Amino acid sequence: MNGPISRMIAHTVGMNHSFATQAVHAGREDLAELGVHAPPIDLSTTYPAVDSHVEADRISRFAAGLQPPGSPLYSRLHNPTVGRFESALATLEKAEAAVGFASGMAALTACLLAAVAAGKPHVVAVRPLYGGSDHLLNCGLLGTRISWAEPGRVGDAIEADTGLVIVETPANPTLTEVDLAALAAECGEVPLLVDNTVATPVTQRPLEHGASIVLHSATKFLGGHGDVMGGVVACGEEFAVRLRQIRIATGGILDPFGAYLLHRGLATLPVRVAAQSATAAELADRLADDRRVSVVHYPGRSPRRPGQMESGGAMLSFEVVGDATRVVAAVGLITPAVSLGSVDSLIQHPASLTHRIVEETDRQSCGVNAAMLRLSVGLEAVEDLWADLDQALKAA
Ligand code: MET
């Protein structure tokens, strides 16, 4: 069951297969040979290590961020079920490699530690980001130093010790879009990390637009059912080696059952995102025509630029004329909760919850105001969602 590890099975789903086919088959290439239909879940924490001399060499190679074939030795070093998910996600993001983590924040932490370890602790980032990411960068907990810059000013903000440029597009929670190709050009030799959680690889593959690193809170659309927490970074093999070194040393690995659920989620990702996006676009139109709403933020409403998403996606935010918090309190079908990307719709007040940890002046500077609500559109029927929003807006 230990099977071939992720590096060995990556990309055997043909590049000439469509994205939807890759979503179903990637990371499953060896299943027929194993005589099974569903990917096995390997819950082992440890593995027999009979020949200590051989294993001594292998453990050194794992610690160096490599993936030697054979027994994983210990599941903090490698887990085959995690490897399958990593291989599949790398295929979908068109990356050489992917590295799974316990959460999106653990994934971001590893990227920041890699920059610090490389002697390049300065980070340039574009607001808004998810509030937790903003906080981690702004507080400098991991030894990074932050400069916030708008697109077009990023190049000027880069210094000799800049290790990363970070952007989230569409951004959480404003859904602001950034032209990735233009931003990548500003970055020059500095790696551009794109948080692709909201976009998903269905609508945007940042590596195709000049980014070097793609980060996901896999908890969101990749899992898609609100029942698994994880994070993943898709990147070149060289950076993946550094991330695996950090993951082994710090222990923020994705668990095998979580990896199984995330891998299963990838199979339906294209159809979920397509259906949820169609509903979100319709709701965005109706909200834009509603006098109880002052502004709707939804990607793709202006002429498309190169590097923009291929569709509007399943997230929208809107600003309420009345008290936004009363809308949250009044929804019935929609769940008032943080998180996003699930099969069921979620609504939340960013100024109170996801972006509470960001200083108010910083929130205001990037458009996260008290009137704003963020809606993650699920798979419910559009008329049922609209009826719920309509009655909740009446309450406000
Ligand atoms: C604890 S706040 C949130 C979680 C999640 N990243 C979101 O944007 O909803």
pLDDT, tens digit (0-9, with 9 covering 90-100), for 164-188? 999 999 999 999 999 999 999 999 9
Same domain, 226 and 318: no
Whether 49 is covered by a domain: the verdict is yes
Annotated active-site residue 120? The verdict is no
Query: Which CATH number goes with the domain that contains 140?
Result: 3.40.640.10
220 is catalytic: yes
3-class secondary structure, 390: helix
Identify whether residues 66 and 179 lie together within a single domain.
yes
240 and 313 in a single domain? The answer is no
242 is catalytic: no
Please tell me the distance from the alpha carbon of residue 197 to that of residue 209, in angstroms, as a whole number. 16
DSSP, res 353: T
* Cβ neighbours, 10 Å, residue 38: 10
Position 153 in a domain: yes
Q: What is the dihedral of CA 388, 269, 2, 228, to 10 degrees?
A: -20
- Residue at 1 is within a domain: no
Q: List C-alpha distances in Å: 101 to 30, 163, 218, 227, 232.
A: 24, 21, 9, 16, 6
Contacts of 315 (CB under 8 A, 6+ apart): 170, 172, 175, 198, 280, 340, 374, 375, 376, 377
Distance (angstroms) between ligand 1 centre and the Cα of 205 equals 22
Measured CA to CA, the distance from residue 312 to residue 246 in angstroms comes to 35
Q: Which of 340, 349, 352, 375 to mutate to test the pocket of ligand 1 (most atoms within 8 A of CB)?
A: 340
- CA-nearest residue, atom 6 of ligand 1: 339
Mapped onto helix, strand or coil, the DSSP state of residue 270 is helix
Distance CA 83, CA 25 (A): 14
The predicted pLDDT at position 128 comes to 98
* Final residue of a structural domain among 267, 294, 321: 267
Report strand pairing: 335-336 vs 192-195. unpaired
List, as one string, the DSSP characters of 10-41.
TT-S-TTS-HHHHHHHTT-TTHHHHT-SSPP-
Q: Which residue's alpha carbon is nearest to atom 9 within ligand 1?
A: 339
Residue ending a domain, choose from 220, 236, 267 = 267
Atom of ligand 1 nearest to the CA of 338: 9
Asked whether residue 93 falls in the same domain as residue 204, the answer is: yes
**Structure confidence by residue, pLDDT tens digits, 371-391:** 999 999 999 999 999 999 999
Radius of gyration of the chain (CA): 21
Choose the catalytic residue: 30, 74, 76, 362. Answer: 76
67 in a structural domain = yes
Confidence (pLDDT) at 308: 52
- Maximum distance among all Cα pairs of the chain, rounded to whole angstroms: 73
CATH code for the domain of 380: 3.90.1150.10
User: Residue 309 has what pLDDT?
Assistant: 58
Atom of ligand 1 nearest to the CA of 130: 8
Site residues for ligand 1, CB cut-off 6 Å: 130, 172, 217, 338-340, 353-354
Strand pairing category for 162-168 and 335-336: unpaired
C-alpha–C-alpha distance, residues 131 and 125, integer Å = 13
Look at residues 235, 267, 299 and tell me which one is the last residue of a structural domain. 267
The two tokens of residue 69 are 């074939």
Note down the domain range covering 348.
Answer: 269-395
Which residue's CA is the closest to the ligand 1 atom numbered 7?
339
CA 339 / ligand 1 centre spacing (Å): 5
Q: Is the pLDDT of residue 3 over 80?
A: no
Using the atom order of ligand 1, give the atom closest to the CA of residue 172. Answer: 8
| Candidates 195, 247, 272, 363; catalytic one | 195
- CA 306 and chain centroid, separation: 21
- Quick check: is 59 in a domain? yes
Query: Number of helices (H) and strands (E), helices first, in the chain?
Result: 15, 12
- Grouping H, G, I as helix, E, B as strand and the rest as coil, residue 107 is helix
ipTM score over 0.95, yes or no: yes
Nearest CA owner, ligand 1 atom 3: 354
| Interatomic CA distance for residues 50 and 54, integer angstroms | 9
Compute, in angstroms, the gap from residue 338 CA to the centroid of ligand 1: 5
State whether 214 and 92 are in the same domain. Answer: yes
Let me know whether 243 and 348 are in one domain. Answer: no
Q: How far is CA 366 from the centre of its chain?
A: 21
pLDDT of 109-153, one tens digit each? 999 999 999 999 999 999 999 999 999 999 999 999 999 999 999
For 193-221, give one letter per residue: b (16+ CB within 10 A) or e.
bbbbbbbbbbbbbbbebbbbbbbbbbbbb
**Residue 76 annotated among the catalytic residues of the structure:** yes
Do 221 and 362 belong together in one domain? no
How many angstroms is it from 102 CA to the middle of ligand 1? 15
For residue 151, how many other CB atoms are within 10 A of its CB? Answer: 17
Q: How many domains does the chain have?
A: 2
Asked if 37 and 116 sit in the same domain, the reply is: yes
Please tell me the pTM assigned to this model: 0.95
Confidence of residue 11 (pLDDT cuts 50, 70, 90): very low
CA dihedral sign of residues 327, 332, 337, 339:
negative
The active-site residue out of 84, 130, 205, 255 is 130
User: 16 with 146, same domain?
Assistant: yes
Task: Identify the residue whose tokens are 């929208």.
Answer: 316
Residues 362 and 388 occupy one common structural domain: yes
Q: Candidates 103, 105, 108, 130: which one to mutate for ligand 1, based on the most atoms within 8 Å of Cβ?
A: 130
Phi/psi of residue 46, each to 5°? -135, 165
How buried is 24 (Cβ within 10 angstroms: 0-12 exposed, 13-18 middle, 19+ buried)? middle
Q: Are residues 82 and 135 in the same domain?
A: yes
- Counting ligand 1 atoms within 8 A of each CB, the residue from 198, 229, 348, 354 with the most, and so the one to mutate, is 354
40 C-alpha to ligand 1 centroid (Å): 30
How many angstroms separate the alpha carbon of residue 396 from the centre of ligand 1? 24
Per-residue pLDDT reduced to its tens digit, 293-342: 999 999 976 544 555 555 799 999 999 999 999 999 999 999 999 999 99
Give yes or no: residues 31 and 47 share one domain: yes
pLDDT mean over 21-47? 97
